[in-house]
Amino acid sequence: MKMPADQIIGIVTVLYNSNDVLPGFFSSLGSQQGINYRLYVIDNSPNDSGTRISEEAAKLLKINAVCIFNNENVGVAKGNNQGIELALKDGCSHILLANNDTEFAPTTIFKLWEDMVKNGEYASTPKLMYYDTPDIIWYAGGHINPWTMRTPHYGLNEKDNGQFDMKCHVNYAPTCFMLVDSTVFEKVGRMDERYFVYSDDTDFVWRMNILGMNISYNPEAVVLHKVSTSTGGASSPFTQYYSNRNRIFFIRKNLHGLQKAIALIYVLTTRILRLGIVKTNKSGWKGIRDGLSMQV
């Protein structure tokens, strides 16, 4: 099976001080087989070095690329929306939202596309492994638990022995590497830019679920992920602020009744207890306050 000439995948990636990971990402893109694609690079970095590196790499590898330099950090959600709008305007049949801290084999994107076309899927995601320990799973499917507002990854931190090698439908997947049929954006809408970063993908997937749009998990496609390279890790003030704020905001925006009340109590209790141990974490406390006061 080969991708028809009249179909093209728009690959959207958002940069933020990403220079160190770009060589591996572009090397992976340059090796892709069996697909037609156009790359949309949205650079949120404080200087344009990432844009210049991307332009030079695209030229060297003969990648059809459009590079946008924002001159400020407008957030991942808005950056993805910029790329999505460009891809839709150019008539792309599918859009791949891809973190640039990923590396992947030459047939990875083709396998995702083939799975979607053969089975009529709305979206397809790969098995994601840790880059530094490629035999350890980061994501092998997942689900949204609306009662706790957690999004567990199946197989997280497990050694890969093939136990998650069955294709299946899931109601949660991170958008760090997700291929989406372009018609989905017409029905579901774009990323909610109020999230800035974190939970914007959960919000998007939640809206897909409401409309009955399945996400396919395809373990035949494997991606290596350099987790949290641009945000400083789970304990950084940046991550603490946005993860606390956005989880609370998501609950207030999307849940209702008893489910909303229980999820809020659970998240507030667990977050406050965690912050009570680290009382100097002002960013985490501010995230909670802002999450409770944001306009929904």
Tokens 């809020």 belong to residue: 264
Residue by residue, DSSP assigns 98-144 as E-TTEEE-TTHHHHHHHHHHHHT-SEEEEEEEESSSTTBEEES-B--
Mean pLDDT, residues 71-97? 97
* Proportion of the chain above pLDDT 70, given as a percent: 96
> What's the confidence (pLDDT) of residue 273?
85
Mean pLDDT, residues 95-105? 98
Model pTM score: 0.94
The residues near 4 (Cβ < 8 Å, ≥ 6 apart) are none
pLDDT interval class at 204 (50, 70, 90): very high
> What's the confidence (pLDDT) of residue 230?
53
CB atoms within 10 A of CB 60: 10
pLDDT interval class at 277 (50, 70, 90): low
**Does 67 score more than 80 pLDDT?**
yes
Query: Which own/partner contact pairs does 269-273 have at CB distance under 8 Å and 24+ positions apart?
Result: 271/244, 271/247
In the chain, the amino acid numbered 180 is V
Tokens 């397809």 belong to residue: 124
Mean pLDDT, residues 281-285? 85
Residue by residue, DSSP assigns 245-267 as HHHHHHHHHH--HHHHHHHHHHH
CA distances from 256 to 68, 200, 259 (A): 39, 19, 6
Q: Report the alpha-carbon distance of residue 50 to residue 65 in Å, rounded.
A: 13
pLDDT interval class at 236 (50, 70, 90): confident
Q: Report the alpha-carbon distance of residue 221 to residue 124 in Å, rounded.
A: 10
Burial of 141 (0-12, 13-18, 19+ CB in 10 A): buried
Which domains does the chain carry?
A: 9-225 (3.90.550.60), 237-293 (no CATH)
pLDDT tens string 111-122: 999 999 999 999
Q: Which residues of 205-215 are buried (b: 16+ CB within 10 A; e: fewer)?
A: bbbbbeeebbb
**Does 138 score more than 80 pLDDT?**
yes
CA distances from 276 to 103, 130, 235, 242, 249 (A): 38, 31, 14, 18, 21
Query: What phi, psi does 261 have (nearest 5°)?
Result: -65, -45
> What's the confidence (pLDDT) of residue 53?
96
- DSSP code of 58? H
Burial of 173 (0-12, 13-18, 19+ CB in 10 A): buried
Mean pLDDT, residues 257-276? 91
